[in-house]
Amino acid sequence: MNAESAFHALYIGALVILAILMGIMVVRSVIGPRVTDRILSINMIGTMVVCSIAILTVLLDEGYLADVALIYVMISFVAVLILAITYIPEHPRRTEHYRLLEMKEDTPQDEEGGDEE
């Protein structure tokens, strides 16, 4: 057994373990109770896919796959970003937050007036 086949076996084993972990995260994203659990699981799957692509870069000795991994990182980040700006802005809890902020600026005079009466 020379070093080349040892490297090959190591990379294949790492790919198999990463595939098992990705399967676990897919199950987690299906049973996740809220939307944030699913986004988090998909983000972790993205990280592991980047690792798999990097391993394949070295295993197959194809340099352009590293560029694919770079693009994959950017796209998975943009996915989380777009989901965040889709979910956050017009949500009732946030509008309630701003309403309460305005109410809190107005309250002191009202409260003192109520106590005096």
Partner 1 sequence: MIAWIRFIITAVLMIGALGCFVSAVAGVWRFGFVLNRVHAAGIGDSLGILLMMAALAVGNGLNMTSLKLLLLVVLLWLTSPVSSHLMSQIEYYTNPELYEHVTRDEPLHPAQTRNTEKNKKQGPSGRSHGARKRKRR
* Residues of the shown chain interacting with partner 1 in the complex, contacts defined by CB under 8 A: 2-4, 6-7, 10-11, 14, 17-18, 21, 24-25, 28, 34-37, 39-41, 43-44, 47-48, 50-51, 54-55, 57-58, 63, 66-67, 69-70, 73-74, 77, 80-81, 83-84, 87-88, 91, 93-94, 96-97, 100-101, 103-104, 107, 111, 114-115
Q: Tokens 């994959």 — which residue?
A: 72
CA distance 11 to 53: 11
Cβ(59)–Cβ(68) below 8 Å: no
CA distance 60 to 39: 31
CB atoms within 10 A of CB 110: 10
Min dist. Cβ of residue 100 to partner 1 (A): 4
Q: Which is nearer to partner 1, 104 or 116 (CB)?
A: 104
